[in-house]
Amino acid sequence: MTSIEKVYRILELLRRHYKTGLTNKELSNRLKIPASTCYRIMKSLKKFDFVSQRKVDKRFFLGFSHLRYADALVGGMDVPAICLPYLEKLHESTKDTTFLTVFSGQHSIVVEICGNINVLMSIARGEVMPMHCAASGKVILAFLPEPEKSRLLESLDYHVFTERTITDPTELKKQLREIHKTGVAFNFREFHTDTVAISSPIFSRHGKVIGAVAIVGIAETLDHKTIASYSYSRLMLTTSREITEELGGELPTWLGREAEPKPSSHGL
C-alpha cells in the first residue's frame, strides 16, 4: 500500500465515522498497517489540520482543511454538466424524456434535458415549472425547511392549468407529507393535459434540497401504472442518490428504505 493510498483510506474511514471518530489503534487495526506507521501519518495530517484529535479520548476526526478544498470545488461546479450523464443513463433505462430542474427562490427551473422532446410537453431549458402541480416543483416543496415551505405555500396562486390541477392547499400539504416520506412526486395530467411525470429531489452537501430530477412522458404511452411502479420509483431515487453524492451530499436516511412509494390518487 503506497503512502497516498494509506492517507486516502484513513480519511475515508474518518469520513464514515465522522460522528464517533477513531483512535490510532482502531485505524491501524482496520487498515492492517503498523500502529507506528499510522501514528506518523496522523501526526502529519494533524499538523496541516486535515485531522483533529479530541483531547479527552485521543480520537481522531476530519479536520477543517477539507472545507477549503470543498468550497473551492463546489464553487466551480457546473451542476447541469455534472447531472447530464445521469439523465442520459435514466433516459437509456426508460426511453422516456428526462430533465433536471434547480430551485431558484420561488420557482423550479428546467436547466437540462435528455431525450426526444414532444412539443405537447412544452418542456424546454429555462422553463419555470409550477411548484403546486409539476412533479419537480412538488418534490422540492416537500423537502424545503418548514418556515420556507410555509412562506412559499402562502404565496402560491394555485393557477389552474388543467381540470386536475391542485387548487386546494390542504390537499397539496397532504401530498407533500407523502412525498417527504417516499422521496418521489407525481404529476398525473396536472400541469399539461396530455403528460405525466415523476420526480425525486437532489440535495447539496449542506443537506438542502437544490433541485430535482424528473421523467416526463405522454400519458397515452407512459401510463399511470408504469410511471407509478416500484421500478420507476427506485430508478428515480437511485439517480437522485448518485447525483447528490456526486455533489458531496447525502439523501435523507429514510429514503434508503425499500418501501414502495404510494402515489397520490389526486385527479385519478
CATH number at residue 34: 1.10.10.10
In a domain, residue 25? The reply is yes
Q: Which domain holds residue 41?
A: 3-68
132-138 average pLDDT score: 94
- The 3-state DSSP class for residue 162 equals coil
Neighbours of 140 (CB within 10 A): 28
Whether 73 shows a pLDDT value over 60: the answer reads no
242-265 average pLDDT score: 72
Do 55 and 82 belong to one domain? Answer: no
In a domain, residue 268? The reply is no
In a domain, residue 152? The reply is yes
Do 127 and 215 belong to one domain? Answer: yes
Do 101 and 230 belong to one domain? Answer: yes
Phi–psi pair at 112, nearest 5 degrees: -155, 145
CATH assignment of the domain containing 218: 3.30.450.40
| Beta partners for residue 188, in sequence order | 196
Do 123 and 245 belong to one domain? Answer: yes
Do 116 and 226 belong to one domain? Answer: yes
Whether 268 shows a pLDDT value over 70: the answer reads no
The number of distinct structural domains making up the chain is: 2
Phi–psi pair at 94, nearest 5 degrees: -110, -20
Rounded Cα distance between 13 and 9, Å, is 6
Question: What pTM does this model have?
Answer: 0.68
In a domain, residue 166? The reply is yes
pLDDT digits (tens, 9 = 90+) for 13-70: 998 898 899 999 999 999 999 999 999 999 999 999 999 999 999 999 999 887 777 6
Do 39 and 56 belong to one domain? Answer: yes
In a domain, residue 267? The reply is no
Do 52 and 108 belong to one domain? Answer: no
83-95 average pLDDT score: 91
Cell numbers of 220, please?
397515452
Do 176 and 234 belong to one domain? Answer: yes
Do 86 and 48 belong to one domain? Answer: no
Do 14 and 91 belong to one domain? Answer: no
Do 146 and 56 belong to one domain? Answer: no
Rounded Cα distance between 205 and 28, Å, is 29
Q: What pLDDT is stored for residue 205 in this prediction?
A: 84
* C-alpha distances out from residue 1 to 13, 46, 72, Å: 16, 21, 29
Do 193 and 98 belong to one domain? Answer: yes
Cell numbers of 206, please?
449542506
